[in-house]
Chain A
């Protein structure tokens, strides 16, 4: 069970079935402020499902999730979530999408929008319709959308998908900034080398639970070797 001394996020006994298949069977998780947990695992092992439950978008069959001691459903606005879907409207521009998101989150738009666009290096794309963006730019816009309200907890499901090398480096640097600001991050990915520098703990999800967890090993190959051992075994 991944653990921390001062849990920002605490999930206990998370279980979820799809039909007869138990995707998650009593998963526990705690995450402290400023920590970045990398979760990897084979396809179909429930990583995205776990993130949706932690975000309060899916109800577990059993278990509880709290953010700073309060049920996650009462903590909307304190978490940011990036899913496989971008949450963007194709027929709105980048600026319009982010403005709408800011209004939903109760953020002041005037003056802040340009800062959000600049931070995500989207200023030159602000008036482009999302449907005309490349996958990478749409992903950057989606990421900006997930983070614009300065959440305390950030849940990222394969955030490096579609990003070029420069954007990936920028994202990792941003994750380090978030950690420095005390934000907790859970990063789901298939390639541990993406975001490795920002990661503090690692975990492998398989067979309904954690098969490997702990502090980040020194190198990616070391982690991959240990993950292969537990997954094959």
Chain B
């Protein structure tokens, strides 16, 4: 177990070190998320759809696209100079490699949310105090699910010829459940609904996370090894 965690941490730390040194993908994803929110902000009709509905929806659209950018980056990094082969040659448990990649992707997505969420609150005048502690929990649960399934699928997609195209195509059906839950729950949270109305969504996300993290740990070997 010690080696498992050490390897996962080493892999996540390596990915994050590369990203923070270049900041290229973080900036691109952050700018993209901000652009999505700006477009939603200027195109909305507040008389037709309340801000408390369009704001959270726009936030999750921005997060979804930013997550795809992050996930593409994760394994593109390994494709350069054949580093993926180096990971495959290592006597490391494949679950540890999955966890390491997932961990780095999760930090990345949470950082993008750290950029996007305040912008959403600002543009759409969302009542942050009303959402309470349910919002950070929701952000975390939804992000874990996005990243878990995305890490597994991006490992598959990176071995194809059109990896950058394949990942969104593979990922989209799997993103619908967590995004639907996240958007639905956050609309209710910002709408001042009681926490009891969103507990069901939170439970759904927790189960989704458990399923896909487990699948990732079990299936990563089949995905990356020939």
Q: Could you tell me which A residues sit within 8 Å of B by CB distance?
A: 55-59, 73, 76-77, 79, 81, 83-92, 96, 100-101, 103-106, 145
Q: Cβ of A86 and Cβ of B81 under 8 Å apart?
A: yes
B82's nearest neighbour on chain A, judged by CB, is A85
B19's nearest neighbour on chain A, judged by CB, is A91
Interface size on B, residues (CB 8 A): 25
> With A and B bound together, what is the CA distance between A89 and B21 in angstroms?
12
A86's nearest neighbour on chain B, judged by CB, is B81
A77's nearest neighbour on chain B, judged by CB, is B91
Interface string of B87-115 (1 = CB under 8 A from A): 11111100000000000000000000000
> With A and B bound together, what is the CA distance between A55 and B86 in angstroms?
11
Q: Cβ of B81 and Cβ of A76 under 8 Å apart?
A: no
Q: Cβ of A88 and Cβ of B81 under 8 Å apart?
A: yes
Helix, strand, loop or mixed for chain A's interface? loop
> With A and B bound together, what is the CA distance between A91 and B14 in angstroms?
10
Q: A86-B82, A87-B85 are in contact. Are A106 and B18 (CB under 8 A)?
A: no
Q: Cβ of B22 and Cβ of A91 under 8 Å apart?
A: yes
Q: A91-B21, A104-B87 are in contact. Are A57 and B14 (CB under 8 A)?
A: no
Q: Cβ of B92 and Cβ of A87 under 8 Å apart?
A: no
Residues 15-32 of B contacting A (Cβ, < 8 Å)? 17-18, 21-22
Tell me if B137 counts as interface (CB < 8 A to partner A): no
Q: A79-B89, A106-B91 are in contact. Are A85 and B81 (CB under 8 A)?
A: yes
Q: Cβ of A91 and Cβ of B18 under 8 Å apart?
A: yes
Cβ-closest 7 pairs across A and B: A85-B82, A77-B91, A87-B86, A103-B10, A104-B90, A76-B91, A59-B226
Q: Cβ of A96 and Cβ of B17 under 8 Å apart?
A: yes
27 sampled A-B residue pairs with Cβ under 8 A: A56-B88, A57-B88, A57-B89, A76-B90, A81-B85, A83-B82, A84-B82, A85-B83, A87-B82, A87-B85, A88-B81, A89-B18, A89-B80, A89-B81, A89-B83, A90-B81, A91-B22, A92-B17, A92-B21, A100-B10, A100-B14, A101-B86, A103-B10, A104-B7, A104-B10, A105-B91, A145-B86
